Amino acid sequence: MEMLRFATAGSVDDGKSTLIGRLLLETKQIFEDQLEAVERTSRDKGFDYTNLALLTDGLRAEREQGITIDVAYRYFATPRRKFIIADTPGHTQYTRNMVTGASTADLALVLVDARKGVLEQSKRHAVIASLLQVKHLVLCVNKMDLVDYDEARFDEICDEFTDFAAKLDIDDLTFIPMSALHGDNVVQHSPNTPWYEGPTLLHHLEHVYIGSDRNLIDARFPVQYVVRPMSHDHHDYRGYAGQVASGMFRPGEEVLVLPSGFTTTIEGIDEFGGSVEQAYPPMSVNIRLADNLDVSRGDMFARPNNSPIVTQDVDAMVCWFVDRPLQAGQIFGIKHTTRTARARVQELNYRLDVNTLHRDDAQQSLAMNDVGRISLRTTVPLFVDEYRRNRVTGSFILVDEGTFETVGAGMILAASSG
Amino acid sequence: MATTQLSHLQALESEAIHIMREVAAEFEKPVLLFSGGKDSAVMLRIAEKAFWPARIPFPVMHVDTGHNFPEAIEFRDKRVAETGVNLVVASVQESIDKGRVVEETGPRASRNRLQTVTLLDAITEHGFDAVFGGGRRDEEKARAKERVYSFRDEFGQWDPKNQRPELWNLYNGRHRKGEHIRVFPLSNWTELDVWQYVADDEVELPSIYYAHRREVFRRDGMLLAVSPFVTVMEGEEPEELMVRFRTVGDASCTGAVESTATDVQTVIAEIAASRLTERGETRADDRISEAGMEDRKREGYF
Ligand SMILES: Nc1nc2c(ncn2[C@@H]2O[C@H](COP(=O)(O)OP(=O)(O)O)[C@@H](O)[C@H]2O)c(=O)[nH]1
Ligand SMILES: [Mg+2]
């Protein structure tokens, strides 16, 4: 069975949590005790109907304020797929949590309230999803019950969003009219929208093709850990443990070891208890090399004729997460694949207005939840690819060296070698 | 052509292995919480795989309430011997004897909550900086919010409103002395995933996870086992039933379910058909209040 990870996005109150509650309920993932608890709370609070959002808003503060503060992860499975849902917050102040949820997603659901149309926050979330290279986007036009399931209204919203999305990097865009509250077009086709001939949301989630989203071309293996048993049975064993980032690795093939630049062949690829014929993403394996080279955590295996850029200078889009503004000259810890180093912000090129996509190059700093383009200089070379091409070797996080907080997330645009 | 697609269980396993290797590489003194329950059994199994053919490069720790099912202890010791790991036992009884905590009284007394103090004391005493737990996000709504790397301050507390953003698989384990990180490699597993893994991988579990005859009585809609650790109150009538456990915790607050499932496949069939959550059905500790788990987690609970 395949796994699909998706994130929800959209403005506050557009119905994200309700939609997830609906999906879980109709795929029978809600247990009786959970539903009873939610029904009881809804009654206690004097609601007319069961508030399905209570199923995902798990923190006390969230229930008290009726909002989502942090990502909630939910799980469900149908006979076709296992789904991991990241229900993310809509409030701008919690953008960093939305980014957390979207970073690992294959698909994003962006909700809009059919009465309100495409608001700034929905646009903002679509921009962030495209920045993070979430390849599939579904615009859920929700609360269709409140606009009498009007086809013209649906078309209007689709047109408006299509215009906006043309400026973004989105491979696959789907529109679905629905009512999360009443269940129209979520799991069952709705009799209220006879004019809609597309798939229901669940059908789309089950069938959307994600097989080609992985990069199976560029062989990249960040060395995570060196396995040296020092035991009688495996006296000379030396395995380089890691998770395949992209591409394929097979015994007998040549590999380029970075940063040393040596070339050797793969002697064997091991998993617990034995060897495998090939390793592909996201397999965790041990790779054994034919030659005894000096290889340690943070190094990378690639191919002699297809290698990442080895560089100390990186241009990237960053999302900024903390109050303290990001400015040129600041130094941070950086974690890129399994490599950690320090990085100085050489330049803030521009701040991206995620509502208008305008590039503001007069800005001297990035504030919390801002997105902008920066140039970094790192203390040691990194082995990078463009994020568009490789989500693993193209991403990094910045860590404040005083507070140890994760202060930013970066997506590499281009790198100059040397 | 051979497949280039992992099944969902293989992908979950690979993710867990990646997490364990990150911790082994970046922390000085990790420890894996091992109670003998099914989640910790799966976690230990994955740790074995992550470092094979070397031994697991960190010890395991059992927070021992003293209210154990003997089968779980037997199983714990067997797995410790098989894997060759070091076992650290942190004893709630010792915490009571030393006056660190006060034992609850009355027929409903449980040592569940006391474990937090014992756990935090042991983390401090041994200087553990990363603590692997078998918690899953599908277990409970506060857990659904927790990061894979969950930062704990010097008091062992979790601050759910101020968690570090956690992007891709780039985990931030930086912390000061006295602070630590709880690490949950099984975050994305469901109860059914765990059982399917147990089946596919032939993971051994304590026998009490399978249906067996046992003397039980009903309390608060749960079946509790008759044992030296619980006082059967008036009106509660012990009877012998075929039962199995869905979780294995403190024997005084872990309930059993009626079952005829004597092997993995029949357990999976029963779980797939179950209409109640694992914790709702069998854990008295989660029934305290709507925010029971969140409150305990803030204090430093598992
Ligand atoms: N009429 C109607 N109300 C909805 C629908 N979906 C959600 N709501 C209501 O909108 C409000 C906000 O929903 P919630 O799921 O909490 O929104 P979130 O902030 O996006 O998670 C709640 O009162 C829901 O009951 C819908 O399809 N139709
Ligand atoms: Mg919500």
DSSP character string of A124-190: HHHHHHHHTT--EEEEEEE-GGGGTT-HHHHHHHHHHHHHHHTTS--SEEEEEE-BTTTTBTTTB--
At residue A408, the pLDDT reads 97
What percentage of chain B has pLDDT greater than the value 70? Answer: 92
Q: Ligand 2 centre and the CA of A68: distance in Å?
A: 5
Kindly report the protein residue whose alpha carbon is nearest to atom 4 of ligand 1.
A181
Q: How many helices (H) and strands (E) does chain B have?
A: 9, 10
Q: Ligand 1 centre and the CA of A12: distance in Å?
A: 9
The model's pTM is 0.92
Name the minimum distance, in Å, from the CA of A157 to any CA of chain B.
31
For helices B8-26 and B38-51, give the axis angle rounded to 10 degrees. 70
Residue of A5, A34, A42, A60 to mutate when probing chain B, most B C-beta within 10 A: A60
SS3 A401: coil
> pLDDT confidence of B51, banded at 50, 70, 90?
very high
Residue of chain B nearest A243, judged by CA positions: B18
> pLDDT confidence of B254, banded at 50, 70, 90?
confident
Identify residue A263 by its one-letter amino acid code: T
Q: Is B51 in CB contact (< 8 Å) with chain A?
A: yes
| Lookup: tokens for B64 | 């021992």
* DSSP element (H, E) containing A213: none
Please list the residues that pair with A395 across neighbouring strands.
A411
Q: Where are the beta strands (DSSP E) in B124-168?
A: 130-132, 149-152
For helices B38-51 and B191-201, give the axis angle rounded to 10 degrees. 50
**Mean pLDDT, residues A164-169:** 89
Does residue A85 carry a pLDDT above 60? yes
CA-closest candidate to residue A15, choices A171, A106, A144: A144
Residue of A206, A220, A404, A412 to mutate when probing chain B, most B C-beta within 10 A: A404
Residue of chain B nearest A76, judged by CA positions: B190
Q: Ligand 1 centre and the CA of A18: distance in Å?
A: 6
Q: Is B174 in CB contact (< 8 Å) with chain A?
A: yes
Name the minimum distance, in Å, from the CA of B283 to any CA of chain A.
12
Torsions phi, psi for B130 (to 5 deg): -135, 135
The C-alpha atoms of residue B259 and residue B242 are separated, in whole angstroms, by: 6
Please list the residues that pair with A264 across neighbouring strands.
A255
Torsions phi, psi for A317 (to 5 deg): -90, 135
Length of chain A: 418
Mark yes or no for CB contact B188/A73 under 8 Å.
yes
Q: Ligand 2 centre and the CA of A91: distance in Å?
A: 10
Upstream peptide bond of A259 is cis (omega within 30 degrees of 0): yes
CA atoms within 13 Å, Cβ hemisphere of A120: 7
At residue B285, the pLDDT reads 52
Q: What is the CA radius of gyration of chain A?
A: 24
Ligand 1 binding pocket (C-beta < 6 A) is: A 10, 12-18, 53, 68, 90, 142-143, 145-146, 179-181
At residue A60, the pLDDT reads 67
pLDDT tens digit sequence for A206-265: 999 998 888 999 999 999 999 999 888 888 899 999 999 999 999 999 999 999 999 999
Q: What is the DSSP string of A322-357?
A: SSSPEETT-EEEEEETTEEEEEEEEEEEEEE-TTT-
Q: Is B172 in CB contact (< 8 Å) with chain A?
A: yes
Residue given tokens 């280039």 in the structure block: B4
Residue A136 neighbours by CB distance under 10 Å: 23
What percentage of chain B has pLDDT greater than the value 90? Answer: 55
Closest-approaching ligand to the CA atom of A185: 1
Does residue A417 carry a pLDDT above 70? no
ipTM score: 0.92
Residues of A in contact with B144 (CB under 8 A): 56, 58, 72-74
**Mean pLDDT, residues A324-349:** 97
Q: How far does chain A reach from its first CA to its final CA, in angstroms? A: 43
At residue A108, the pLDDT reads 95
Name the minimum distance, in Å, from the CA of A196 to any CA of chain B.
33
SS3 A406: strand
Does residue B288 carry a pLDDT above 50? no
Mark yes or no for CB contact A59/B280 under 8 Å.
no
* DSSP element (H, E) containing B216: strand B212-219
At residue A121, the pLDDT reads 83
pLDDT tens digit sequence for B120-176: 999 999 999 999 999 999 888 788 889 999 999 999 889 888 889 999 999 999 999
Average pLDDT score, chain B: 88
CA A229 to chain centre: 35
Mark yes or no for CB contact B168/A34 under 8 Å.
no
The C-alpha atoms of residue B60 and residue B80 are separated, in whole angstroms, by: 8
Does residue B38 carry a pLDDT above 60? yes
Length of chain B: 302
> pLDDT confidence of A39, banded at 50, 70, 90?
confident
CA-closest candidate to residue B113, choices B249, B257, B226: B249
pLDDT tens digit sequence for A89-111: 767 667 788 888 899 999 999 99
Q: Is B102 in CB contact (< 8 Å) with chain A?
A: no
SS3 B1: coil
SS3 A35: helix
Cβ proximity of A404 and B165 under 8 Å: no
- Evaluated on CA atoms B1, B2, B4, B8, the torsion sign reads positive
Q: Is B11 in CB contact (< 8 Å) with chain A?
A: yes
Q: Which residues contact B241 (CB under 8 A, 6 or more apart)?
A: B213, B214, B216, B223, B258
Q: Where are the beta strands (DSSP E) in A211-307?
A: 221-222, 225-227, 239-243, 254-258, 263-271, 274-275, 284-289, 300-302
Q: Ligand 1 centre and the CA of A54: distance in Å?
A: 11
Q: Ligand 2 centre and the CA of B136: distance in Å?
A: 21
Average pLDDT score, chain A: 91
The C-alpha atoms of residue A385 and residue A222 are separated, in whole angstroms, by: 13
Does residue A177 carry a pLDDT above 90? yes
Name the minimum distance, in Å, from the CA of B274 to any CA of chain A.
8
At residue B287, the pLDDT reads 47
Instruction: Between A18 and A47, name the one with better pLDDT.
Output: A18
Q: Which residues contact B218 (CB under 8 A, 6 or more apart)?
A: B224, B236, B237
> pLDDT confidence of A88, banded at 50, 70, 90?
confident
Interface of B with A in 25-44 (CB under 8 A): 25
| Lookup: tokens for A81 | 């797929």
Q: Ligand 2 centre and the CA of A38: distance in Å?
A: 15
Question: What stretches of chain B show up as alpha helix (H) in DSSP?
Answer: 8-26, 38-51, 70-83, 92-97, 115-126, 191-201, 264-273, 278-282, 292-299
Residue of chain B nearest A396, judged by CA positions: B170
| Lookup: tokens for A210 | 């994600």
The C-alpha atoms of residue B269 and residue B261 are separated, in whole angstroms, by: 9
Does residue A418 carry a pLDDT above 50? no
* Pocket mutation for ligand 1, best pick of A14, A18, A63 (most atoms within 8 Å of C-beta): A18
**Mean pLDDT, residues B2-19:** 93
Residues of B in contact with A58 (CB under 8 A): 140-145, 294
Residue of B22, B27, B138, B168 to mutate when probing chain A, most A C-beta within 10 A: B168
CA angle, A101 then A102 then A103, to 5°: 95
Which of ligand 1's atoms lies nearest the C-alpha of A49?
25
Does residue A76 carry a pLDDT above 60? yes
Residue of chain B nearest A82, judged by CA positions: B8
Q: What is the CA radius of gyration of chain B?
A: 19
Residues of A in contact with B290 (CB under 8 A): 37, 41, 60, 63
Closest-approaching ligand to the CA atom of A72: 2
**Mean pLDDT, residues A269-282:** 95
